[in-house]
Structure 1
Amino acid sequence: MTLRNFNHPSDYLGAAREMADSGCPTLARLLAEEAADRTTDPNEAARIRTEFDGVSLRTES
């Protein structure tokens, strides 16, 4: 197992892709949402969210 620092949106996005490939779509979606939230470009954030199917599962308001 590789330890990973989550300092950039790309770190979250990479982990999201790994989770999707591993058959963990819910975790992938949550990581993708975090990547999108940390992205300063709104168009890139929208692209990230559309890359991962599903609706937001976040409970925070």
Structure 2
Amino acid sequence: MAPLNFNRPADYLDAAREMADSGRHTLARLLAEEAADRTTDPAEAARIRAEFPGSSLRQED
């Protein structure tokens, strides 16, 4: 199995969907937030966050 590379927002989004499908909703939300942050289009970022509802799980310093 080839190692996963996370170079694009779509990579994070694919991983988020995979985690959601396997019941790992917290990890899915974190990956979706990262995908949204790496997306340059604000409307697309909002759509990604809406696909994985809930409040942010990040702990900012």
Question: Which residue does the alignment assign to 2:59?
Answer: 59
TM-score normalised to the size of structure 1? Answer: 0.94
**Aligned: 1:41 with 2:35:** no
Runs of 5+ in structure 2 lacking a partner? none
Question: Which residue does the alignment assign to 1:8?
Answer: 8
Q: CA deviation at 1:54?
A: 1.2
CA distance in 2, matches of 1:56, 1:28: 12
TM-score normalised to the size of structure 2? Answer: 0.94
Once superposed, which parts of structure 1, at least 4 consecutive aligned residues long, lie more than 4 Å away?
none
Task: Count residues in correspondence.
Answer: 61
Runs of 5+ in structure 1 lacking a partner? none
Q: CA deviation at 1:31?
A: 0.1
CA distance in 1, matches of 2:13, 2:4: 12
Q: Secondary structure at the match of 1:59?
A: coil
Identity over the aligned pairs, expressed in percent? 77
1:15-36, Cα deviation, whole Å (9 max, x unpaired): 0000000000000000000000
